[in-house]
Structure 1
Amino acid sequence: MSKAASSSPHVTGSATGHSIARRLALMFALAAAGVFFAVGVALYNIQCNELHRHQRQEILTRYEFVESLIARRMFNTEKWALLESKLKELTPQEGNVTYIVTSDDPRYRLGTPFPSDVKTVKEGGGVQRVFMPERTYLTLSGRVPPLGDRPAVMLTVGVDPSAFDTTSHALNVALVIASLFGVAAVAALGWWIARRSLAAVDDLSRHAQELGPKKLSERLPVCKLPGELAGLVLSFNGALERVEQAYMQLSTFNADVAHELRTPLGNLIGQTQVILSRERSVAELEEVLQSNLEELERLRTIINDMLFLAQADRGMRADNLVRASIAQEVGKSAEFLDMLLEDAGCSLKIEGDAEAAIEPSLFGRAITNLLYNAIQHCDRCSAIVIRIAESEDGVAITVSNRGMPIAAHHVERLFDRFYRVDSSRTDSRNSHGLGLAIVKAIAVMHGGTVFAQSRDNETTIGLTIAHGIAR
């Protein structure tokens, strides 16, 4: 496992196809594109409206100036000649401005009228767009009343809008280029900001790559982390701590299993080798076979208990539940231990009673294990007390015995598999350390829990049974 971890390639966010930095940069770019598009549309509309307003203003200004000249001063042919000269001065050589005056009297005409079949488009406010073959004009027309010898005339002022259109096009191109540049700049800055912000994630990835079975005590660094990552790292470190504890428990469990199985196997092999070393009588062979049978029975018990605990770990629940008197079931289990109680010089008291849904065989096994544990550690001529009490959560069954107190750090681990307060295993032949672990498994299978305490030379170990299990 450690070799695989050490040989795995270093992976960071920037090296994968789902880089957070790239996705953030893309989102920044899309957001910027949306903002620039909205702003661009608004600016485009504003500049179009302003240019159109300036175009109309220029036409209106020219029209009002010429109309004023005609309406106030041009009352005969001599004055009209001066108007013609004045309009020639006002007309640029490029031909982008034109003045047209039509009248029933040929003497009061100026410019070349637009063909009658020319295409025109009204743009509002009296302004029309006239599409000539060589160019397009924005025109404003109006009637000038007669004055003196001059009859009424029709004045038309035309301005070529191409200059405004060129300016509008240039502004639009500049706006598009600026927007594209802005989007690219925002994307680049977004990627840089994201990479800087995610540098802590890369550091955590590098530290995580270094974790392994040989470095179970190491944790990911928490200092100088953003608030968004600190909680995640603390949770991950908590998970690492639980993994370390589970790994250590598994290692201890494997060592305990090996030890528990090695002892009877060693006894079997040793006794068999001794008995085969020379000829033996039938009585001696029977004695060795009887001893080997005891060791084999012990092996079978250990294996069956381990299989039972493995099934409990997979979530097995108690089946075939029946409502029964807890005191009666405890009494039945106690009957099988009368000889052990007598040998230990202990008496048994059962206090209280309640009803609960139990599987009798499993419940009896749990009570037997609790009683057996109490008998092993009780003082001679003392009483073992079984108390049964009912509560809202279920029925609590406690087994108390007088004896040597158990340290607090041992009490917390009494229900661990293969755990013994006496680490030397001096009593390993009579107990293989799975009894209380089975009690815990049976309690969980009945929807309950286990508990233990030791004070004033009295040790109390018990379990709870739910009133009924929801299916």
Structure 2
Amino acid sequence: MNSRYSLTTRLTAFFTLASAFVLVGLGSLVAISIDRHFVELDRDALRDKIHLTREVMGKATSPQDLKTRLDDVLHSHEGLFVNVLRGQESLYSTPDFQFPGNMVELTLRARLGVASWQTQKHAYRGMAQSVSMPDASEMPLQIWVALDIAHHKHFMYSLIQALVAYVALATLVAGALGWWAAKNGLAPLRTMRTRAMAITAQRLDERIPSHAFPIEMADLATTLNEMLRRLKEEFDRLSEFSSDLAHELRTPINNLMTQTQVTLSQARTTAEYQDILASNAEEYQRLARMVADMLFLAKADHGLILPSTERIAVHDEASALFEFYEALAEEKQVHLRLSGEGDVCGDRLMLRRALSNLLSNAIRYTPPGEQIAVEIQGDVHGTTVNVINQGPSIDAQLLPRLFDRFFRADKSRKQLDSDGAGLGLSITQAIVHAHRGRISVSSISGTTCFSMYFPSTKIVGKLPTTDA
């Protein structure tokens, strides 16, 4: 059915068609049963007439006497026709009546042994029966009898007309009742539609009261409410993200504008211009990194980040990063420790970036003289990488938001020597999710632990590959 039709129209049409089908089937069953009953009545009547004819034949003393007796019988039995044959010779035949030439074959093939035929004006049912003579030397007789069934046909015609009219009227009534039932049954859906239309971007906290609807629609209302809850959360995150993004971009842009305006306010030496351009280049690099990170996260949100697949020894990657951060760790007076073995099937550069983000974050917030530990635990189910550092504990209420974009647990902890924009943990989470893993964080008694879990490819299946 065309999808442009309303649900009420569809239900009405389906209900009407189903009702018509049932009514037509019931009417046909009634008509067939009555017609079969008439055939059975006619069969019994024909047998009685054959029996009566045989009795008359048994009393007749001559062919002329037989004719006289049968004429008297037929005179008192209106609508009865008889034909008595010996071979091809007709011993008696009802005047002005013609039996079919293949009467015997018709009887043998007919339903219930009753042959039916029709002329231009009348309809008949008949039966043929062979009668053996007492004298075996004589040829058996054939008795053909027929009844005029015009009254049966007239009754069936009137019955079929009545049934057709009733089926048509009943179908119309059923269609009207179906429309009424569908319209009233779908009234809660229209109410739900009205409530849903009242929900806007400024009113995402509105909910559809599921208890006010039938059970079938209550599930739909609950699902819609859950969808609205997720939309509101994402909308709030997007609004907060847009605000944070504007704030993060405003600082370097204002720096560039201010520094440029001050520079143009008076003539400068070549060395001064070079220093200013070098300072501007740093701000441009910061903006470029921020834009690149945002592009990466946008691709991750849309499933466009597909890691290539290769077997990676996490211990080797961590060792390489330790060499890279060794100078910074010595400057911060922080000790790095690596332990454990494990393999991950995924993208080497992405895995190194995730681990690098956690290490740089740990170095930034670990007090001097403390230690940062990277513990690797691998088994048949997967590999877990823990990055543990000592330092101020993070409020438990803030832990779920650590992976939000531009979020910092303590705004005052943004250091002047840091060029981070609050995207490192978000990128790390996106990388772990791209590898079908999970990441979590805990902070208890001055110990903060970031844990990345990468499942075995035997459990999650082979990751999609990319040439990027």
TM-score, with structure 2 as normaliser: 0.76
Q: Percent identity?
A: 29
What is the aligned partner in structure 1 of residue 240 from structure 2?
252
Per-residue CA distance 1:48-91 (angstroms, 9 max, x = gap) = 133344455667778888998998999xxxxx999999997x57
- 100 and 454 in structure 1: CA distance in 2 versus 1, 3 angstrom threshold: closer
Aligned counterpart for 1:191 among listed residues 158, 179, 188: 179
What is the aligned partner in structure 2 of residue 113 from structure 1?
95
8 A contact 2:309–2:345 mirrored in 1:
no
What is the aligned partner in structure 1 of residue 151 from structure 2?
163
- 412 and 54 in structure 1: CA distance in 2 versus 1, 3 angstrom threshold: same
Aligned counterpart for 2:304 among listed residues 307, 312, 315: 315
Aligned-pair distance for 1:434? 0.8
Aligned counterpart for 2:370 among listed residues 372, 375, 382: 382
8 A contact 1:100–1:113 mirrored in 2:
no
Amino acid in the other structure paired with 2:432: A
What is the aligned partner in structure 2 of residue 24 from structure 1?
11
Aligned counterpart for 1:210 among listed residues 180, 193, 198: 198
- Paired residues for 1:158-307 under 5 Å: 160-307=148-295
What is the aligned partner in structure 2 of residue 327 from structure 1?
315
Aligned-pair distance for 1:169? 1.1
What is the aligned partner in structure 1 of residue 89 from structure 2?
none
2: CA distance between counterparts of 1:389 and 1:373? 21
Amino acid in the other structure paired with 2:185: S
1: CA distance between counterparts of 2:34 and 2:234? 71
What is the aligned partner in structure 2 of residue 151 from structure 1?
none
Give unpaired runs (5+ residues) of structure 1. 1-12, 75-79, 103-109, 146-153
Amino acid in the other structure paired with 2:23: F
Q: How many residues align?
A: 437
What is the aligned partner in structure 2 of residue 410 from structure 1?
398
2: CA distance between counterparts of 1:100 and 1:71? 16
- 113 and 407 in structure 1: CA distance in 2 versus 1, 3 angstrom threshold: same
Aligned counterpart for 1:373 among listed residues 361, 372, 375: 361
Secondary structure at 1:407 match in 2: coil
Secondary structure at 1:336 match in 2: helix
Answer yes or no: is 1:38 the counterpart of 2:20: no
8 A contact 1:448–1:466 mirrored in 2:
yes
2: CA distance between counterparts of 1:424 and 1:210? 42
Secondary structure at 1:319 match in 2: coil
- 214 and 59 in structure 1: CA distance in 2 versus 1, 3 angstrom threshold: same
8 A contact 2:312–2:348 mirrored in 1:
no
Aligned counterpart for 1:437 among listed residues 426, 433, 436: 426
Per-residue CA distance 1:132-177 (angstroms, 9 max, x = gap) = 887566678999x9xxxxxxxx999976432222112111211222
What is the aligned partner in structure 2 of residue 5 from structure 1?
none
Secondary structure at 1:213 match in 2: coil
8 A contact 2:367–2:390 mirrored in 1:
yes
8 A contact 1:374–1:384 mirrored in 2:
yes
Secondary structure at 2:227 match in 1: helix
TM-score, with structure 1 as normaliser: 0.76
Amino acid in the other structure paired with 2:228: L
8 A contact 1:121–1:129 mirrored in 2:
no
8 A contact 1:379–1:403 mirrored in 2:
yes
Amino acid in the other structure paired with 2:391: G
Aligned counterpart for 2:34 among listed residues 4, 27, 47: 47
Secondary structure at 2:368 match in 1: coil
Amino acid in the other structure paired with 1:168: M
1: CA distance between counterparts of 2:127 and 2:452? 103
Cα-Cα RMSD: 4.3
Aligned-pair distance for 1:43? 1.5
2: CA distance between counterparts of 1:388 and 1:126? 93
8 A contact 2:56–2:69 mirrored in 1:
no
1: CA distance between counterparts of 2:22 and 2:121? 40
2: CA distance between counterparts of 1:86 and 1:204? 81
